Amino acid sequence: MGGIFHAAILFLVAAGLQVIFGVQKIFNLACGSFYALGAYVGISAVQAFIGAGGPPGLFLLPLALAGLLVGLVGVVVERGLLRFVYDRDETFQLLLTFALVLMLEDAIRMTWGTAPQSTAGLYLVYGQVRLLGATVPTYNLVVIGASLAIAAGIGWFLTRTAFGRIVRATAENREMAEALGVNMASVYARVFTLGTALGTLGGALVIPATAAMSEMGIELIVEAFAVVVIGGLGSMRGAFVGALVVGVLRAVAISVYPELEMLLIYLIVIGVLVLRPRGIFGEVAV
């Protein structure tokens, strides 16, 4: 179950990475930093909520709200920075998003300091349940449920709403969509904000179970890359399956042969690259 909890969080970050790449063709190295930002803002929101006398049992409300709202930083980044490099070489886009990683890390350090931040005992507020012979924190199940609901919501949004169809059309053929009158600036701003919000929400939701550290995004982004390679670059289904593969494989490796924890994941990555370079659900050649 620990592996599935990890997969649920990983899915949110990888989904953010996928939606941005799928539409804007930008490989957002800063997705891990947005995840860290969501974690810190989530902690501050929860601390303010509890400090103001809010009942601990309702901590999920300020947490999720903060995670979603801080996703709006995506608008600022997209309109303020990224739109200037859309027509440049991919190298510039990578450099810019890498610069964001460093700047956000320093911004976090300047705002929240260097000491790890924690939400004290909120992780245990919902208690534990027995599941398949193991004790599982109820909060883990809440996050897994939320992640599944978000996955279903994204599927519904992309296939059933008008804007979802525009997003898919843009991902398929930008020039054609533009010729049909789609406002590309608006689509890009909204898609980037959605991708950012998925990452920041992931950071906020993970924080009761862990502690926020300024470099926490770096750890996750490596796994998120493995997810997109396995699942297929640009594919939401790929993000879902890839996150599940990485999360569960990692847990199994730690239980069976701990030395293989990361090696096993990268063996799968290499295998996918050799046998199916597009990934399991990828539609774009990698």
Q: Read off the tokens for 122.
A: 């909120």
Q: Does 72 bind other proteins (CB under 8 A)?
A: no
Q: Does 216 bind other proteins (CB under 8 A)?
A: yes
- The residue (of 107 and 280) whose beta carbon lies closer to other proteins is 107
Amino acid 120 reads A
- 3-class state of residue 30 by DSSP: coil
Per CB under 8 A, the list member of 38, 71, 137, 232 interacting with other proteins is: 137
Q: Does 134 bind other proteins (CB under 8 A)?
A: yes
Q: Does 81 bind other proteins (CB under 8 A)?
A: no
- The residue (of 145 and 153) whose beta carbon lies closer to other proteins is 145
Bridging pattern class, strands 134-137 and 211-212: unpaired
Q: Does 5 bind other proteins (CB under 8 A)?
A: yes
Count of residues engaged in binding other proteins, rule: CB under 8 A:
44
Q: Does 112 bind other proteins (CB under 8 A)?
A: no
Per CB under 8 A, the list member of 90, 172, 178, 219 interacting with other proteins is: 219
| Crossing angle for the helix pair 31-51 and 184-206, to the nearest 10 degrees | 60
- 3-class state of residue 118 by DSSP: strand
Q: Does 51 bind other proteins (CB under 8 A)?
A: no
16, with CB counted inside 10 A (0-12, 13-18, 19+), is buried
Q: Which stretch binds other proteins (CB under 8 A): 23-31, 212-220, 234-242, 274-282?
A: 212-220
Beta bridge partners of 117: 212
Q: How many other β-carbons are positioned within 10 Å of the β-carbon of residue 189?
A: 19
Q: Does 266 bind other proteins (CB under 8 A)?
A: no
Which DSSP state fits 284?
A: S
Q: Name the helix (H) or strand (E) containing 136.
A: strand 134-137
- Per DSSP, the residues of 114-146 read SS-EE-TTGGGTT-EEEETTEEEEHHHHHHHHH
Q: Which stretch binds other proteins (CB under 8 A): 17-25, 102-110, 169-177, 266-274?
A: 102-110
Which DSSP state fits 259?
A: G
Binding interface with other proteins (CB under 8 A): 1-3, 5-6, 95, 98-99, 102, 106, 109, 114-116, 118, 120-121, 123-124, 128, 134-137, 139-140, 206, 209-216, 218-219, 250-251, 254-255, 258, 261-262
